[in-house]
Amino acid sequence: MIEWGSFLVVALGSLAGGCGVVLLFSLGLRFAGPETDGSRRGLGIACFTVCALVVALGVCLVIPYFAPFFARL
C-alpha cells in the first residue's frame, strides 16, 4: 500500500520549508546586507529573525523530546 497522500504532504512541506527559509534569508540579505542604503535595515533584520525562528522550529522537530508539544498543535 502506497501512501500517496502523506507523500504529497511531505513534498509540500519540504517545498514550503525549504523555499521559505531561503526566501527569508535572501530578503534579509537584500534589505540589511552589503550595498544597501540602510533605510530598510530593520525589515532585513526582521527577516533574519523569522528565518532563525523557522530553523529553530526545524531543530525542535528533530528532537523527539518536543514531539508531544507538536502533537498538541
Q: Judged by CB under 8 A, does residue 46 bind other proteins? A: no
Secondary element (H or E) of residue 39: none
**17 is a site residue for other proteins (CB under 8 A):** yes
Classify each residue of 36-69 as buried b or exposed e, where b means 16 or more C-beta atoms within 10 Å of its C-beta.
Answer: eeeeeeeebebbbebbeeeeeeeeeeeeeeeeee
Q: Out of 19, 43, 45, 53, which residue is the one contacting other proteins (CB under 8 A)?
A: 19
- Interface residues with other proteins (CB under 8 A)? 1-3, 6-7, 9-11, 13-19, 21-23, 25-27, 29-30, 33-35, 55, 58-59, 61-65, 70
